[in-house]
Amino acid sequence: MTADSNPLLAWGTLPDFDAITADHVGPAMRETLARCEADLTALEARAAELDAFALVGALEPIEDRIGWTWTLANHLNSVRTTDLLRKAIEAVQGEVVAFQSRLAQSRPLYEAFRRLRDGDGFDALPSAVRRVVILNLRGAEHSGVGLVGEARERFNKNQQELARLSLEFGNNVLDATKAWSLDLTTGDEVRGLPKSLLGLAAQNARSAGHEDATADRGPWRVTLDYPSFVPFMEYAERRDLREQVYRAYVTRASAPPFDNGPLIERILELRREQARALGFETFAELSIDAKMAPDVAAVSALLGDLREVSYAAAERELGELGAFAAGHGGPDRLAVWDHAYWARRLRQARFDYSDEELRPYFPLPQVLDGLFALAERLFGVRVTANDAVRGWHEDVRFFDVADDSGAPLAGFYLDAFSRPANKRGGAWMNECVGRSRALADGDGVRLPIAYLVSNQSPPVDGKPSLMTFNEVQTLFHEFGHGLQHMLTQVDEGAVAGINGVEWDAVELPSQFMENWLRHRPALERFARHYETGEPLPAELIDRVLASQTFRAGTAFLRQLYFADLDLAIHHRYEPGGALTLAQVQADVVARNTVVPPLPEDRFICSFGHLFSGGYAAGYYSYKWAEVLSADAFSAFEEAGLDDEDAVREVGHRFRDTILALGGSLDPMSVFVRFRGRKPDTAPLLRHNGLVAA
């Protein structure tokens, strides 16, 4: 079998998405696994004789081949899923996990890496090679290389089950989201909804078979997909309908046939068992052992410090919201489905603008132009569209990235629009192809390619995608991840770009890019009306910037709640123990919320970050990295944001450290190289208005 007969075997190339079908998955993965198994066996036989460069270079093709094919199959399952594709992935997943365990638990490779680490010449090796050695040793130990006999068999069996449960969890969330909708047919039911949402809801209705649906006449279909759910909760005047939609959202995937409740209990049970098999008391201890944070106590301390400064602010903001609602015809006591609606009205009253007022100034093509211009200004790179490269959907576009001399550096696919029928929600960046010298054709390096995916409002009724400010932030965020992948200068694939970067530092570049949306000149460069070309009025920019700290305490506390809940269920909760999961969650609620969730709230059943993503016992990473990103941005503030020469100098230093070094050094060393010192929490609190500047 070759790439000519199966496009999932075209390792390390741009995928031929038009040619890939579900039928290719099983044969391609088994062919890839057979090739990798043969190469691994051969490598093990000579590992003891190899120097560091030879060992790292020989291992990289094995990891890259399986990574390219398996990542591609799962990527397609995320962006254009079908029942056949799911079944094909499920059928071969066990074999993939078995090989991954076999590779991670290879005793000959482990001993070879130990020999290199303990050898006299280790300190003289390039930092990237040293990091590959260190990370392989840590990864092997966390994968059970020290287990033998029945203990190893049990560990590997658990890994198989965890992989299956993770896939099932994500599928349940997607299916539960897709299964629920609310059809509205009267003007009274859509009172208050903006034109953009009416257009999207009519488009949803047409997709569901209501061929004559229009934004003006309906019918309108509301879904639990983010571009539909969020504006409905913010604008719908019918309180009873907001309650109906809200209850559906917070109970997704919590009842048959898509019930994730039993899966969560089993996942937590297996994670704790795996951690204890490796000598850790809890899964949180195991998870954080591979992160930038030194231990669970340090994470708890950060969360506690941030809670101390945000809780009182959140209480004050709740009081303000309740008083505003009561004074403007609202209920005497706000319910949880009222908060988004009244917060939107309070913000509009206080700052005299709405998200809908901003949308016409943020058409996707212009936002992209502004984003790419910012990247050129900061990092000296140029981004241009390459429509000759086809993606997996007609809406997907490809872009080339070059340096200021025109030399190619990287590329990326952008899939921006929501497709609730077959695309999972959220936003993410993933690797299509990583930078590598070992896997290059000829004497150069293989250049990196990224997948950038989001779920913003699609074009409706002939208009371009008109973005909310939050959607603009999301695009900047994911592009920041992409920049770290694409602008790496590390040639060892295992630590190039985001590879090898500790999970609680990986959000630094993404959150850093969001900070530029708080800077007036950045907005002025691209915020223009899609029809008239008129710039976003200066006084409106003032109001937008002033509103960036609106209800910051509430936003902080929400993230702390998620992070503390994640830590609690992976550190304090004992499956089958004296406390139930609901009791542990209630304890977290008491510490981290000023508005308790509904008793029937089961949002944890759709918390994909923890159970089908990579954030288990690591959700705190968003706040941990936000400290880093705010402090990094403060370096530009100190240099002078309006001093183009200074911005360019600091931007190139950011590129040469945070973006270029990737996982070739530990993240604290990388940060200190850029900032000249260790990180400080003060800029984060100052940017969010939680302490006086």
pLDDT of residue 421: 86
Residue 239 domain flag: yes
pLDDT at 293 over 50: yes
Spell out the residues 6+ positions from residue 212 whose beta carbon is closer than 8 angstroms to its own. none
pLDDT of residue 691: 76
pLDDT of residue 209: 94
Same domain, 66 and 124: yes
Same domain, 120 and 12: yes
Catalytic residue among 60, 63, 478, 507: 478
Residue 124 domain flag: yes
> How sure is the predictor about 577, in pLDDT bands with cuts at 50, 70 and 90?
confident
pLDDT digits 0-9 by tens, 119-175: 999 999 999 999 999 999 999 999 999 999 999 999 999 999 999 999 999 999 999
Same domain, 60 and 121: yes
pLDDT at 2 over 90: no
pLDDT digits 0-9 by tens, 168-208: 999 999 999 999 999 999 999 999 999 999 999 999 999 99
478 is catalytic: yes
pLDDT of residue 288: 97
pLDDT of residue 462: 87
Residue 11 domain flag: yes
β-pairing, 449-456 with 408-417?
parallel
Residue 197 domain flag: yes
What does the block give as tokens for 47? 């590992």
What does the block give as tokens for 441? 């054709």
Residue 481 domain flag: no
pLDDT of residue 340: 97
Residue by residue, DSSP assigns 280-320 as -SSHHHHHHTTSSS--HHHHHHHHHHHHHHHHHHHHHHHHH
pLDDT of residue 534: 95
Q: Distances from the Cα of 277 to the Cαs of 96, 152, 650, in angstroms?
A: 22, 9, 46
79 with 432: CB under 8 angstroms? no
Spell out the residues 6+ positions from residue 124 whose beta carbon is closer than 8 angstroms to its own. none
pLDDT at 614 over 80: yes
In this structure, what CATH number is given to the domain that contains residue 92? 1.20.1050.40
β-pairing, 408-417 with 397-403?
antiparallel
Last residue of a domain, one of 234, 250, 266: 250
Same domain, 131 and 187: no
Determine the Cα angle at 279 with ends 278 and 280, to 5°.
100
pLDDT of residue 535: 95
174 with 77: CB under 8 angstroms? no
Last residue of a domain, one of 101, 124, 146: 146
Q: Domain count for the chain, please give it.
A: 2
Q: What would the mean pLDDT of 226-232 be, rounded to a whole number?
A: 94
Q: What would the mean pLDDT of 33-60 be, rounded to a whole number?
A: 97
Q: What would the mean pLDDT of 527-553 be, rounded to a whole number?
A: 94
pLDDT of residue 461: 84
Same domain, 109 and 188: no
Residue 353 domain flag: no
pLDDT of residue 428: 96
Please tell me which residue, 283 or 687, carries the higher pLDDT value.
283
Same domain, 104 and 36: yes
Same domain, 102 and 50: yes
pLDDT at 451 over 80: yes
Same domain, 135 and 11: yes
Q: What would the mean pLDDT of 105-126 be, rounded to a whole number?
A: 96
Q: What would the mean pLDDT of 230-239 be, rounded to a whole number?
A: 97
Tell me the residue range of the domain where 70 lies: 7-146
Same domain, 105 and 220: no
Spell out the residues 6+ positions from residue 327 whose beta carbon is closer than 8 angstroms to its own. none
pLDDT of residue 442: 83
524 with 518: CB under 8 angstroms? no
Same domain, 22 and 132: yes
Mean pLDDT of the chain: 95
Same domain, 135 and 43: yes
Last residue of a domain, one of 194, 222, 250: 250
Q: What would the mean pLDDT of 400-406 be, rounded to a whole number?
A: 95
Residue 57 domain flag: yes
SS3 track for 556-584? HHHHHHHHHHHHHHHHCCCCCCCCCHHHH
Beta bridge partners of 156: none
pLDDT at 306 over 50: yes
Same domain, 140 and 184: no
658 with 507: CB under 8 angstroms? no
668 with 292: CB under 8 angstroms? yes
From the list 664, 660, 670, 663, the residue with the least C-alpha distance to 632 is: 670
pLDDT at 623 over 90: yes
pLDDT at 692 over 80: no
> How sure is the predictor about 35, in pLDDT bands with cuts at 50, 70 and 90?
very high
pLDDT of residue 693: 33
Q: How far apart are CA 165 and CA 277, in angstroms?
A: 20
Q: What would the mean pLDDT of 595-604 be, rounded to a whole number?
A: 93
pLDDT digits 0-9 by tens, 514-529: 999 999 998 999 999 9
pLDDT of residue 307: 94
pLDDT of residue 11: 95
pTM flag (> 0.85): yes
pLDDT of residue 576: 85
